[in-house]
Amino acid sequence: MKLSCQEGLVKGASVEEKMEKLAQWGYEGIEFWGSGLKERSEEIKRAAERTGIKVSTICAGYRGTPLDSDPQARKIAVQDIKELLSVAADIGAVGLIFVPIFGPPRIPDLSPYKSAIELECELLLCLLDEIGRHAESVGAYLLIEPLNRYETHFINRLEQAVEICERVGNPYVRIMADFFHMNIEEADIAASIKAYGKWIYHVHLADSNRLLPGYGHTDFKSGFAALKETGFDKYMALECGIPGDSDELLPKTAAYLKECMG
């Protein structure tokens, strides 16, 4: 299990300065937002080389959603996702974090023929076939992220994301687990991790109130023990609010998380 941190949480005049700080504080990776990342890839690769920090992941950053009702909007989303998977491979990231859709459905409910969710599911499977083949060809994973019910109607729990992966059947379509969303949606975080751990290729870390781990009531110890039990050896990236000075709190958080890992 390796610690990573989203770029936006670290203060610094350059990406190299941010990565240098993360290395000193005990982190091993950094996660970038996808939009505009292609243009920064050479600078990022240089900074990674100099600091020893790896790019863990790219977090979304594509335009729109592949589940839009407008074919042109779907096409743009799919193109962006494929391009970001190529960028992920180029900068050495595990893969691209993918939320199929935020908010309510954008395609109509055709019941009694098919509900909007049934149609979304079939559309997603069809598009993930193409996206998955691209992911496989470049060697970067598409990481489906379940979000809590207040952010999406579509995939809220690990189990639902795994079902999509199983149906796609491509080894480069996997899931990620975000402790903030799991705290809302999973009945038992550790039990869900144990059940679906072999599909988990990335983790997001935030406490129950979406602040740094240690500022809420999530039990990270049992979650990390479950991840360990499933053989998880990839990155866990901080995605949360920082209640104070990040230069002071990010090193403390790394120490706290390592303690929780045991």
Where do contacts with ligand LER occur on this chain (CB under 6 A)? 59-60, 97, 99, 145, 147, 151, 178, 204, 239
C-beta of residue 48 within 8 angstroms of C-beta of residue 19: yes
| Residue 247 CB neighbour total at 10 angstroms | 13
- Toward ligand LER, which CB reaches closer, 99 or 164? 99
In the set 7, 16, 178, 185, which binds Mn ion (CB under 5 A)? 178
Which span sits near Mn ion by CB under 5 A: 6-14, 112-120, 204-212, 247-255? 204-212
- Toward Mn ion, which CB reaches closer, 99 or 250? 99
- Quick one: DSSP state of residue 171? T
Beta carbon of residue 59, minimum distance to Mn ion (angstroms, whole number): 7
C-alpha angle 152-156-162 in degrees, rounded to nearest 5: 130
Beta carbon of residue 148, minimum distance to ligand LER (angstroms, whole number): 7
CA 152 to chain centre: 15
- Which does residue 134 bind out of Mn ion, ligand LER, none, counting CB within 5 to 8 angstroms by kind? none
Q: Which residues of 186-210 are buried (b: 16+ CB within 10 A; e: fewer)?
A: beebbebbebbbebbbbbbbbbeeb
- Toward ligand LER, which CB reaches closer, 16 or 145? 145
Beta carbon of residue 109, minimum distance to Mn ion (angstroms, whole number): 28
- Toward ligand LER, which CB reaches closer, 34 or 132? 34
In the set 192, 204, 224, 226, which binds Mn ion (CB under 5 A)? 204
Rounded CA-CA distance 37/40 in Å is 5
Kindly report the backbone phi and psi dihedral angles of residue 194, in degrees, each rounded to the nearest multiple of 5, phi listed first. -65, -40
- Toward ligand LER, which CB reaches closer, 21 or 204? 204
Beta carbon of residue 145, minimum distance to Mn ion (angstroms, whole number): 6
* Single-letter residue type at 39: E
List the end-to-end C-alpha distance of the chain, in Å, as a whole number: 11
Q: Which residues bind Mn ion (CB under 5 A)?
A: 178, 204, 239
